Amino acid sequence: MTKADIVNEISKNTGIEKVTVQKTVEAFMETVKDSLTDGKNVYLRGFGSFIVKKRAEKTARNISKNTTIIIPEHFIPAFKPAKTFVAQVKEQIKK
């Protein structure tokens, strides 16, 4: 499902114009990105959490040059679904 599909589905279910729905979806995504960039997690009860994960420093190898490099610690965005959401998906896929 694409962003356009989500906008169409919300517009169809709520009766709100597609332009308004698109602006709302865009604003939501921008807010989540800004929060994660600032190091703040976003918690949506019953859906999941957008969190910032810390990756530890590690040693990696460049096989073609046969050298090792140090990858410094860094932060990455991640999504952790809520337990009820996971259970619902598992139940639906079983059917």
From the CA atom positions of the chain, what is the Rg in Å?
Answer: 19
Give the global pTM: 0.79
Report the length, in residues, of the chain: 95
d(CA 11, CA 22): 9
Task: Show the domains of the chain with their CATH numbers.
Answer: 3-94 (4.10.520.10)
**Span 13-68, pLDDT tens digits:** 999 999 999 999 999 999 999 999 999 999 999 999 999 999 999 999 988 888 99
Other CB atoms closer than 10 Å to residue 43's CB: what's the count? Answer: 11
Q: Which two tokens stand for residue 55?
A: 């990756």
Backbone angles phi, psi at 2, to 5 degrees: -95, 175
Cβ–Cβ < 8 Å for 39, 52: yes
Q: Average pLDDT, stretch 68-77?
A: 94
> Does residue 1 surpass a pLDDT of 80?
yes
What distance in Å separates the CA atoms of residue 52 and residue 30, rounded to the nearest whole number? 15
Measured distance CA(12)–CA(49) in Å, rounded: 27
